[in-house]
Chain A
């Protein structure tokens, strides 16, 4: 079992490396492999440096961060809700972030304060929802984890309606920008933002990994986990908070990129098993590899035009999900 897992991990890493290489090299401005190394060593020409450090590297790093973050958030949420069909966009946090970003665009804040305001708005929106949930939880209003899930789903519906309301009152050009952002894209970043997203995602991965045996125990149910010595409410809220932070990072920097947080954890569970010691890093790397691969396709399929990466992840992830369902053969994990 461990040997198979290690082989799978090596395979995922190989896909990740290949996707990264082709992401950096491919595009309208093609960079040959030998030039890539020269650019990294600081010997690139000005146009090469502009393309590499200004566009491709930030985009690749953001893809890795967001893909890993969404997949990891999916794994955490599926464990705390004991439901393999829960994903980051079902907990209301993403709805809060999306609504705040749409509102910021519609009110002209983005034009006035610059592109950073998009990310700031996302964090404010998601943070507000997190605070509400935290306050409800600490006052005992959320009595069990199912209430939390249902509240998240309902919050998602409310925010979807609010986003449509914002769209209805927006100017045509703003509405177009909002719609494009909602479809999901990785091209609105710079190196600093991308690195910060990767840093936060990796920090969340490490934090979750320290408590991986708690996640394993939660799969057995709240009471059994408590009998194994786990402080269940504290563990659930800790992982919920981590998932919320990961979702916020992803939504704020890249919009709505569907299916990564649902399909990748399911596939990762099938190839890595359900022990979170292997699953957490495996799912993070698989999500990172998947999204960078999808972004590569989105950038190059009809080059020089680009497709929104959310469309590719939706198509590939959705197909993969249906395939997994049809091939489950009565197995769990789906």
Chain B
């Protein structure tokens, strides 16, 4: 259950003009939650985008399940890798069930098969998995930020992916929804064996829910390892250029990060 499904090997890639990653190596494994943390502009989202093979590679390689990702077709990638980006809104109203059914596109065999009752059944099942079954008949715009995020994840799950990439899924959410989203990510990895790659700003959420953490700084992986090894005040202080302290969480013993006044 813990074989690496995605391997970035010494990867250098980036945008035509602007930010780029240099020599990034990391692995995301089935059944594990892999956190990607780092300051703003360090390259977290770029790593996520690189992992889907949408950025041109300068050097290095990206392998998905042993296969060079560049040789996979778009549909093949979409059947294996699902992504929930930070901004997933549309200027058009959309019914929740129909929105989640869009996740079935990579599995459709053509127009006459799209939107079939089987697709609707999968979409409803995924809404149920995310605790969002009651939203099926509503419009996406009517939902709160947290509810909408659950629906976005349900849409990604409808792709029946082997790897799920989430870009800052807890941004702007209250504590309860943050916990709900992160618990869902952990359950998906443990119960369904899905490899989860998740970009996070909240270091305490990363400490509590991630199995492994990659700390990104200036387009490079600064360090990788279990939360206890990475979320240390001396490392974080250097990367975030701030005075950072930590203490053991009284409930689970994991590091609790804070900035002392």
* Interchain CB contact under 8 A, A332 and B114: no
Residues 209 to 258 of chain A near chain B (Cβ within 8 Å) = 209-214, 216-217, 219-221, 223-224, 226-231
B residues contacting A by CB (< 8 A) are: 52, 54, 73-79, 81-83, 85, 87-88, 90-95, 98, 102-103, 105-106, 108, 110-111, 114-115, 137, 141, 159
Docked Cα-Cα span, A82 to B137, in Å, equals 23
Asked, given contacts A1-B137, A229-B77, A273-B98, whether A212 binds B111 with beta carbons under 8 Å apart, the answer is: yes
Main DSSP-derived SS at the A contact region? loop
Residues 258 to 285 of chain A near chain B (Cβ within 8 Å) = 269, 273-275, 277
Question: Smallest distance from the beta carbon of B194 to chain A beta carbons, Å?
Answer: 16
The answer to whether A331 has its CB under 8 Å from any CB of chain B is: yes
* Interchain CB contact under 8 A, B91 and A82: yes
* Interchain CB contact under 8 A, A226 and B54: yes
The residues of B that contact A226 with a CB separation of less than 8 Å are 54, 74
The answer to whether A318 has its CB under 8 Å from any CB of chain B is: no
A-B CB contact pairs (8 Å), 16 listed: A1-B95, A213-B102, A216-B98, A216-B102, A217-B102, A219-B91, A219-B92, A220-B88, A228-B78, A229-B77, A229-B78, A275-B95, A332-B91, A332-B92, A332-B93, A333-B93
- State how many residues of chain A have any CB contact under 8 Å with chain B: 31
* Interchain CB contact under 8 A, B106 and A332: no
Q: Which of A211, A223, A227, A273 contacts B78 (CB 8 A)?
A: A227
* Interchain CB contact under 8 A, B85 and A224: yes
The answer to whether A146 has its CB under 8 Å from any CB of chain B is: no
The residues of A that contact B92 with a CB separation of less than 8 Å are 82, 84, 219, 269, 274, 332-333
The answer to whether A83 has its CB under 8 Å from any CB of chain B is: yes
Docked Cα-Cα span, A34 to B74, in Å, equals 58
The residues of A that contact B103 with a CB separation of less than 8 Å are 228
Asked, given contacts A213-B102, A221-B90, A274-B93, whether A227 binds B111 with beta carbons under 8 Å apart, the answer is: no
